[in-house]
Amino acid sequence: MQKRKLGKSDLEVSAMGLGCMGMSFGLGPAVDKQQGISVIRAAVERGVTFFDTAEVYGPFTNEELVGEALTPFRTEVKIATKFGFKIENGKQAGLDSRPDHIKEVAEASLKRLKTDVIDLFYQHRVDPEVPIEDVAGAVKDLIQQGKVKHFGLSEAGVKTIRRAHTVQPVTALQSEYSLWWREPEQEVLPTLEELGIGFVPFSPLGKGFLTGQIKEDTKFDKSDFRNVVPRFSEENRKANQAVVDLLKQIAERKKATPAQIALAWLFAQKPWIVPIPGTTKLHRLEENIGAVNIELTPDDLRHVDIAASKIPVQGARYPEEHQKLVGR
């Protein structure tokens, strides 16, 4: 597996990470714990060294799963987790990035992850009630105490990124980015390049849509977040199939799958981009890892850009209340 550095930092990870959220939360019922552990360990055996979780996934159960799965390999891997939500009665209950709370979350996450240091600690969503300088300062304290190695932000806007970076250098920004959500190209990617910050795209396969396995009549489990995502309404799925058809066309030429082309496209954008597709299935994990070796030529990339620019993607990527938490 090739390695990549996140920005100008010394955080070097596999070119592709594994997003672990869907094993416990958000995309239907949680997987059987042993199945989750075996997929995570299979990823390590295949060269993946970067694993993404958060206290709110579950809540808590995903960190416990990741901690247990990675204990035998702890020195070989990097673990990213996140703070920033209030959790009451086992449910997400608003934002909380007060410095004292950040430090409490760090202690609890360290225990669940069965480790003495968090490699990358992200603010999960920007909290408008707490100045970002205070948030960065709290993580800086944790770094000085040796409990955290790197500071990250998730879904933050460029002004927030700049302000945070002056207090404690930001190693990575995590936000959605894929062929059907390209908004980061406008302001975010140029800012990250200028400041030397790495980029970790989540949902690089469009929450599964870009794999070509989700059709307009696909039914999701009632606990699946995609049920409330406008982009996943039946009529929007039908309209957005054009993006998948484009990927399929290139995939056939490259003897690859649509998912592999979607990931290869991301790898080709910048050398400091590390996507974190999630999966609960071994054959999907192997398919995703195969994308690392697919070379898209400048001509291929031009063709994708021209074709994709003619496809207007239908539907918002989040319901309105979620969208309000983004880009602050």
Nearest to 60 by CA among 98, 95, 42, 87: 87
pLDDT value at residue 138: 98
Domains along the chain with CATH numbers: 3-323 (3.20.20.100)
Mean pLDDT by 10 residues, the chain (328 residues): 97 98 96 97 98 98 98 98 97 96 98 98 98 98 98 98 98 97 97 98 98 95 96 96 96 97 98 98 98 96 95 94 93
Residue type, 325: L
pLDDT value at residue 289: 98
pLDDT value at residue 248: 97
Which of the residues are catalytic? 57
Question: What's this model's pTM, rounded to 2 decimal places?
Answer: 0.98
Q: Residue 123: beta bridge partners? A: 83, 153
**Gap between the Cα atoms of 74 and 84, Å rounded:** 25
pLDDT value at residue 302: 96
User: Residue 46: how many CB atoms within 10 A of its CB?
Assistant: 17
CA dihedral 289, 293, 297, 300 (to 10 degrees): -30
Nearest to 181 by CA among 295, 67, 74, 262: 262
Q: Strands, E, within the chain: which ranges?
A: 3-5, 12-14, 18-19, 50-52, 78-83, 85-88, 91-95, 118-123, 148-154, 170-176, 198-202
